[in-house]
Amino acid sequence: MSGPAAQPAREQVVLLDETGHAVGVADKAGVHHADTPLHLAFSCYVFDHDGRILLSRRALSKRTFPGLWTNSACGHPAPGEAFLDGVRRRVHQELGLELDDLRVLLPGFGYRAEMQGVVEHELCPVLVATTSTEPQLDPAEVEEVVWESWADFRAGVLDGSRDVSPWCRLQVEALPEDPLTAPGRPLDELPPAARPR
């Protein structure tokens, strides 16, 4: 006879000090509020083989920044999970994509932003990848997606005509003009909590 069905594990995030070292964990469901503690995250920009960027609109039900257009995927590596494994896992969960050529471009990116009294406060390395697969959306995370020319998207963000999440605007300003061909940064430049052990 089998026992009771296992309850799904609560999703947790890695809490950080100002130097990027892990100082604890917290349940994701309760970590975002008016005084959100610094925690580890990532942002990924996924391109197809024609050089188009996949942009996503955050689900309207999300607690933080609902309905905003942003980069392909954002998420939080789980405690004890290798950073790149966490990126692949979350991108697959949110978008159904398999990633190729996953590289870190902005290893030390961090930001704090607020919307409707809820704060995001993250050390959020920025990555780029390519994919040959078509998106399969998790509606709890993503409202809709669109493939778009990177040059057009970047120009709109930089001139202020394209409305995107605050972190996406900062990231596009910091990314190379052509992130798809930019060399990746070494993983030892990631925040200490995200570096390979």
Buried b (16+ CB within 10 A) or exposed e, 96-120: ebebeebbbbbbebbbebeeeebbb
Concerning whether 122 is annotated as a catalytic residue, the answer is: yes
Name 71's Cβ contacts closer than 8 Å, sequence gap at least 6.
43, 44, 45, 53, 55, 56, 165, 168, 171
List 94, 120, 122, 141, catalytic entry: 122
Q: Compute the distance between CA of residue 181 and CA of residue 185 in angstroms, rounded to an integer.
A: 13
CB atoms within 10 A of CB 197: 4
List 44, 74, 124, 168, catalytic entry: 74
Catalytic residues: 74, 122
